[in-house]
Amino acid sequence: MAETDQKDAPRATANRSTTPGSDAFKEYISQGWAERPSRASGPREQAAFAAERRARVSALHPTARLVIPAGPAKQRSNDTDYPYRAHSAFAHLTGWGSDTVPGSVLILEPRTDEAGEPDGHDAVLYFREAAGRDSDEFYANPEIGEFWTGPRPTADDVAADLALATRGLGDLDAVLESLDARTLVVRDADRAITDRVDALRLLLATDGADDAEALAGELTERDADLARDLSELRLVKDSFEIEEMRRAVAATRQGFDDVIADLPEIVRHPRGERLVEGTFDRRARAEGNTVGYDTIAASGPHACILHWTRNDGPVLPGDLILIDAGVELESYYTADITRTLPVSGTFTDVQRRVYEAVREAADAAFAVVRPGIRFREIHAAAMEVIARRTAEWGLLPVTAEEALQPEGGQHRRYMVHGTSHHLGLDVHDCAQARRDLYLDGILEPGMVFTIEPGLYFQPDDLTVPEEYRGIGVRIEDDVIVTADGCESLSAGIPRTADEVEAWMARAAR
């Protein structure tokens, strides 16, 4: 990695003085550059959808100024950052995804009509424009200089691309200094901006220190209401979002195909789980932006660890490997698929018994999905199968019926997680929605979520026969609620035991 000592760069250090500083260099590097053609070619497809989403948020908060930051780059170590990802609420309301300029901020400014009544909001996007080549930023600033990070778009480019009014980030200070106590901010997106908004709101709203603590709590609650509304806005997906989900699932299928094709090499490596992760992540980068979450490549007893992401174990013949992975597109929409595969290509009798019980639970959940039911009913349908099967195998100290009672739950020892979660811009989408709209919510067409029952028999669990110990199985599909039922977006990825064995046999030929 190259270095710079430019003192104006936030992470530059004085002990690495290598950037040229002579007047002759500065004069020479500032000239002889071709003029860049405009990138503007009309609004992107999601721009109209983002405008409709902003209108819905505007109606919920008609008199408040809304501050929705994309967020800054996050430091990984010293002067290296994590790969940048804008806040999901910002991406949802602007249509910007992986090409977001870090540190950008969307402001929704309330309007009034001639009678002084609320009349919607004006949306303005503030972002850091490219510096002129007569400045030293473009070659000497390793955080934002285009020699280091590539050129940034112009204000005209962004305005045309997103169909949004745009201004330079330097104009944001005046906006923040003029805010009032009714301003709301997405608190977890940009700590520095949140702190500024908090300080100014408190200063405007009270002069008495005795009231400051209570007022701060009230303002935080109002911000939480905004976060809730932005989360609930994503519960029902629009047509653009649904098509993105289809594309993400299709790319994820390719990633699973790649893993199966690479199994011989994976099995030979002492840390084969790492190769599974790398193979899938390669596809995610090729077809999308990246992975939607850390890939779980859990072989053998690691499959009993629900969020196993160390992925440092071997992949051994005779074991199962649980792969939970999803491709995130440039728009940030992500799939979330799990398949459990027999490393040798065929299930043993016990592995098949467990696998097909999990599939039966998933099928039972699929069967109840339709508009009008409560979200929690999906989980209940899957749990009835899990309770019945574990009772039949003699694993429970009570009957299935007793286990399913509120005071029971013994079957949950072998599946402690839920069966479904909403999916979209975040792998656990809409997480700040109210319980009565999420877990207790009524299904509507356009909702997208997972169905992912499992059975996990820990290697040291003395309540199960030895032949079950160390077996972990999960089957996860992504579904969309339709007018009269549901559609599995991942139906093209083999899921029955027979289909999985045939899938692996095809790859082995």
Q: What is the CATH number of the domain that holds 271?
A: 3.90.230.10
Residues 409 and 325 in one domain: yes
Contact 72, 192 (CB under 8 A): yes
pLDDT tens digit sequence for 474-491: 999 999 999 999 999 999
Please report which confidence band the pLDDT of residue 41 belongs to, taking 50, 70 and 90 as the band edges. confident
Residue spans of beta strands (DSSP E) within 368-499: 448-451, 454-456, 472-474, 477-481, 486-488
Choosing from 232, 259, 289, the residue where a domain stops is 232
* Residues 390-397, mean pLDDT to the nearest whole number: 98
Complete edge-to-edge strand list for the sheet that includes strand 477-481: 448-451, 477-481, 486-488
Task: Specify the pLDDT at position 180.
Answer: 87
Q: Is the pLDDT of residue 79 over 90?
A: no
* Residues 346-356, mean pLDDT to the nearest whole number: 98
* Residues 15-41, mean pLDDT to the nearest whole number: 81
Is position 112 within any domain? yes
Q: Is the pLDDT of residue 4 over 60?
A: no
Residues 318 and 217 in one domain: no
Please report which confidence band the pLDDT of residue 3 belongs to, taking 50, 70 and 90 as the band edges. very low
d(C-alpha 292, C-alpha 90), whole Å: 17
* Residues 32-52, mean pLDDT to the nearest whole number: 89
Q: How far apart are the first and last CA of the chain?
A: 43
Query: What domain range includes position 28?
Result: 23-232
Is position 2 within any domain? no
Task: Specify the pLDDT at position 36.
Answer: 81
Task: Specify the pLDDT at position 5.
Answer: 38
Q: Average per-residue pLDDT in the chain? A: 93
Is position 1 within any domain? no
Q: Is the pLDDT of residue 438 over 90?
A: yes
Residues 430 and 488 in one domain: yes
Residues 365 and 412 in one domain: yes
Is position 14 within any domain? no
- Higher-pLDDT residue of 113 and 251 is 251
Q: Is the pLDDT of residue 84 over 70?
A: yes
Q: Is the pLDDT of residue 42 over 90?
A: no
Is position 3 within any domain? no
Residues 484 and 355 in one domain: yes
Task: Specify the pLDDT at position 138.
Answer: 82
Residues 227 and 273 in one domain: no
Q: Considering only CA atoms, which of 94, 104, 106, 108 is closest in space to residue 129?
A: 104
d(C-alpha 100, C-alpha 317), whole Å: 44
Amino acid at 425: L
Helix (H, G, I), strand (E, B) or coil at 245: helix
Residues 70 and 194 in one domain: yes
Q: Considering only CA atoms, which of 394, 387, 336, 338 is closest in space to residue 360?
A: 387
Who's near 385: CB < 8 A, 6+ residues apart? 357, 360, 361, 364, 453
CATH code, domain carrying 138: 3.40.350.10
Task: Specify the pLDDT at position 50.
Answer: 98
Encoded tokens for 40? 């503007």
Choosing from 217, 232, 247, the residue where a domain stops is 232
DSSP 360-384: HHHHHHHHH--TTSBTHHHHHHHHH
Q: Is the pLDDT of residue 225 over 80?
A: yes
Task: Specify the pLDDT at position 133.
Answer: 80
Residue 302: what are its φ and ψ, rounded to 5°? Answer: -60, -25
Contact 143, 12 (CB under 8 A): no
Choosing from 178, 201, 232, the residue where a domain stops is 232
Residues 204 and 343 in one domain: no
Q: Is the pLDDT of residue 6 over 60?
A: no
Residue spans of beta strands (DSSP E) within 64-199: 66-69, 75-77, 80-81, 105-112, 118-127, 165-168, 184-185
Q: How many domains does the chain have?
A: 2
How many whole angstroms from its chain centre is CA 241? 13
Is position 7 within any domain? no
Partner residues linked to 323 by β-bridges:
297, 339
pLDDT tens digit sequence for 267-300: 999 999 999 999 999 999 999 999 999 999 999 9
Task: Specify the pLDDT at position 256.
Answer: 98
d(C-alpha 182, C-alpha 25), whole Å: 50
* Residues 469-478, mean pLDDT to the nearest whole number: 98
Residues 221 and 256 in one domain: no
* Residues 451-455, mean pLDDT to the nearest whole number: 98
Task: Specify the pLDDT at position 19.
Answer: 77
Residues 205 and 243 in one domain: no
Q: Considering only CA atoms, which of 313, 340, 311, 302 is closest in space to residue 470?
A: 302
Task: Specify the pLDDT at position 139.
Answer: 84
Please report which confidence band the pLDDT of residue 80 belongs to, taking 50, 70 and 90 as the band edges. confident
Residues 38 and 145 in one domain: yes
Is position 48 within any domain? yes
Is position 9 within any domain? no
Residues 212 and 348 in one domain: no
